Structure formats: C-alpha cells, structure tokens
Amino acid sequence: MKKRALISVSNKTGVVDFARGIAESGFELISTGGTYKALAEANIPVKYVSEITGFPEILDGRVKTLHPLIHGGILAMDSPEHRKQMEENGISFIDLVIVNLYPFRETIAKPGVTFEEAIENIDIGGPTMVRAAAKNHGRVAIVVNPESYEEVLSVLRKEGAVSADMRRRLAAEAFAHTAEYDRLITEYLKSQL
C-alpha cells in the first residue's frame, strides 16, 4: 500500500524540494491551490485535492479539504474496524501532513489592513488538518514548520518512516502552532471591539 502525503502550505519556503524528496521516498502527494500549482510547475507528481474528494474547492476557497475522504484518511487508526470502515467508504490512509497556516500575523501587521481582509486570512481547513494529524500522531506525522523539512526528509530516506518519538514531538509543535494562531486571532478580535 502506497503511503500518502497531503501538502497545503501558505509559507512555501523549501516546499518544492521537500515534496520532491517525499515523492522520491515513495509517497503519493495530494495538494491544494497554490501549493498544488507550485508542485505541478516543478514537475512533481501531485494530485489535486478535488481528485481525491470528487468535490471542487468552493466558497472562494473557504472549503477545499473539509471532507471525510481527507479527514478520514488523516484520523483513521490502523485497526481492523477503522480499515473496514475506510474500505466501505473508499477512504485511503494519509500518513504525512504538511500544513502551515494562512499568514494572519503578517496580514494584520500591514498598514491599513481592513477587518474583512483580516477575517479572510483566518485559516479553517489548515488548523483542522493540523489538529487531526497531531491527534492521530500514533500513525500520522504532522509537519508545520519548514525548518523541520530537512530532518523529516532525512529520517524518511534512512528509515522509511517517521519514528513514534518524532511524531509525538512534531504533534506537540503542531498544537503549539495552532494555539499561537488562535491567540493572535483572539487578540486581534478583542482589539477591534
């Protein structure tokens, strides 16, 4: 069974080389929007998320990854009952999730930014995937920081998989990432009262 990685990043620093390395390590890649475009333009084999879900991105991109075929693949445990349900529903495991979030901090720091622009830079699908992968770190590796790409890729090349300890460390980093993101949003909204 081929391993799958989902890549959806706002900060694209290093993502093309990382994705190429992941693909060379035997992963099928799934991606969204601008990340998909960057990978496809670099001739990296990648499937658009809509090819997996059978559903287009809608509502100006607000809904693209919020789908059972994505979240089931991330949240499923490797148990007989989950495997049975996945087979019944046409869901495949997603083993590696690479996500960083819309640039909310950078957006609200811009001079003259409007409230509407700030609100549109609140990521929903990204934190959902990050939290799902971090929750299921017993099976899934979550990478939120481009500074981790080299280490993760090195481990994949040497070991073929990310160790349980590394998955746990990456999960803790992921929860810290979403907590800080939510803190920024909370402070911004309070400042607008």
Mind listing the pLDDT tens digit for each residue in 113-144? Answer: 999 999 988 888 899 999 999 999 999 999 99
3-state SS, residue 53? helix
The total of other beta-carbon atoms located within 10 Å of residue 188's CB is 18
pLDDT above 90 (res 8): yes
Banded pLDDT at 67 (limits 50, 70, 90): confident
For domain 3-191, give its CATH number from 3.40.50.1380, 3.30.1490.20, 3.40.50.10490, 3.40.50.2300. 3.40.50.1380
3-state SS, residue 95? coil
Residues 20-46 have a mean pLDDT of: 93
CA–CA distances in Å: residue 53 to residues 64, 92, 104, 180: 9, 11, 27, 30
As a whole number of angstroms, the distance between CA 12 and CA 102 comes to: 11
Question: 33-41 and 15-24 helices cross at what angle (nearest 10)?
Answer: 70
* pLDDT tens-place string over residues 28-39: 999 988 899 999
pLDDT of residue 2: 82
Residues 14-30 have a mean pLDDT of: 95
* pLDDT tens-place string over residues 141-188: 999 999 999 999 999 999 988 999 999 999 999 999 999 999 999 999
Question: For all residues of the chain together, what is the average pLDDT?
Answer: 91
Q: What angle do CA 157, 159, 162 make, to 5 degrees?
A: 95
DSSP for 149-189, written as a single string: HHHHHHHHHHHSS--HHHHHHHHHHHHHHHHHHHHHHHHHH
Q: What angle do CA 7, 57, 62 make, to 5 degrees?
A: 85
pLDDT above 80 (res 60): no
Banded pLDDT at 62 (limits 50, 70, 90): low
The total of other beta-carbon atoms located within 10 Å of residue 117's CB is 12
HSE toward the beta carbon, residue 117, CA cutoff 13 A: 11
